[in-house]
Amino acid sequence: MGLLSMVLGVVLIAALGWKLHQLAGSPHDRPLRAVTSCLACAAVAFPFGLPFGAAWLDGLTVPGTAKLLQNVLLLCTVYFLMCFYLYSAADLEQGSRRARWELVPLVAVIVVISVAMYSTPTELRGLSYGTADMTITSVATFYFVAGCYLIYALVAALYWTLRRASATRPPVSVGLRLAAAGMAGMSLGATVRGVVVVIRWLGGRVPPILPEAAAGLLAVAIPLFVVGIAYPAAAMRLAALRVWWQHRRIYHRLRPLWMILQSAYPEFVLGRVPAGRWRDAVSLRGVHRRYYRRVIECRDGLVRISPYLEQVRAEAGVEPASPAELAALLREALRAQAEGRPVGEHATPVAVPVDGGGGLDADVRELVTLAEALQRKPT
């Protein structure tokens, strides 16, 4: 197996796994079922196009079965690709009706290529496209009919892909354009192969550049199509991973502030306290939940300590001009709270954005700044 084939197989399986995960959550989503079926057919067909896969299946059955099954699965791949657009772009019932009608040419083509395969002499069935004797009508029929259906389905899917790409935004539009480029390349490659089949069937001499061009187009177009299908999911997962990593970092950066507030007001902790610092540091589960919980707990603790903080500030007679000064006042306020000094109940804003805007992100930045100031040793 070449490196390109290995990479293509990995990408194909990863894309199928992601779609199966999505389908488990939305089993009645017809467009999702169609694209998952498309990837499943391509994934199952993949090993039968490799020498060891073809030899294994032909050894279990009869020669030519692997090639026939691979081509049938590829025809089903482009059929389900068409179904995806039929379900997405039309009324659901109309799309379902059209998808059922599209089964007619698919089944007809499968019957024709099956008859062509098994009417070919046994010793000639396992030959590849490049070495097959196309002067034998059954061999030429197998490749030509399958190729015509591929061209029909790919051109139809390409049309809908380009229309859909113009109406969507990245990363979906980027993935659709990559898939469209792959489909265009596959359509052109299949067309060139069809021309070669006709020339060889008629006994003519095929210019070497034609099969080379077709092979080159397909070698680039097929991986490009798979990447295009997988790209939106991969881009969204990457964006989600960035948010996950950011939340995890902020969660740990808030620990100094959370620790001193939790010590003063343990009743404000939502849920259980982390089992230990090291276990908390290496835990990868529930990052978003722990992040939001820690932000809420820190903000609640600051609201609770704010009367003491205001009293300490009034006694000092200065407004904190830096995070370090605010951290020093907060330590003194916590000492006052621990000593049980009398204080009013009026809460005041603490560590809030200067302009009062920016939403949650701006608020969290202020909390992180204060937490980092608390982590430094007081001078």
Domains (range + CATH), the chain: 3-245 (1.20.1070), 254-375 (no CATH)
* 68-126 pLDDT tens trace: 999 999 999 999 989 988 887 656 778 788 889 999 999 999 999 999 999 999 888 88
User: What is the rounded average pLDDT of the residues 6-32?
Assistant: 84
Residue that wins the pLDDT comparison between 2 and 147: 147
Mean of the per-residue pLDDT values for the chain? 85
Tell me how far apart the alpha carbons of residues 239 and 233 are, in angstroms, rounded to a whole number.
Answer: 10
Burial label for 273, CB within 10 Å (0-12, 13-18, 19+), is: exposed
User: What is the rounded average pLDDT of the residues 311-330?
Assistant: 80
Tell me how far apart the alpha carbons of residues 293 and 288 are, in angstroms, rounded to a whole number.
Answer: 8
Which of 163, 143, 161, 142 shows the shortest CA–CA distance to 153? 161
For residue 51, is the peptide bond before it cis, meaning its omega torsion is within 30 degrees of 0? no
* 190-226 pLDDT tens trace: 999 999 999 999 988 989 899 889 989 988 998 898 8
Whether residue 362 is predicted with pLDDT greater than 90 in this model: the reply is no
Report the pLDDT value the prediction gives residue 353, as an integer from 0 to 100. Answer: 79
Tell me how far apart the alpha carbons of residues 295 and 87 are, in angstroms, rounded to a whole number.
Answer: 43
71 touches 146 (CB < 8 A) = yes
Report the pLDDT value the prediction gives residue 351, as an integer from 0 to 100. Answer: 78
Angle between helices 323-339 and 255-264 (to 10 degrees): 20
User: What is the rounded average pLDDT of the residues 155-184?
Assistant: 88
Element (H, E) at 149: helix 137-166
* 226-283 pLDDT tens trace: 888 778 878 888 888 999 999 999 999 999 999 998 888 887 776 654 545 544 444 5
Whether residue 48 is predicted with pLDDT greater than 70 in this model: the reply is yes
Which of 99, 77, 76, 78 shows the shortest CA–CA distance to 30? 99
Q: Any idea which residue has 């998952």 for tokens?
A: 36
pTM above 0.85, yes or no: no
- In this predicted structure, which of 173-177, 215-219, 351-355, 359-363 has the lowest mean pLDDT? 351-355
User: What is the rounded average pLDDT of the residues 369-378?
Assistant: 83
Report the pLDDT value the prediction gives residue 296, as an integer from 0 to 100. Answer: 92
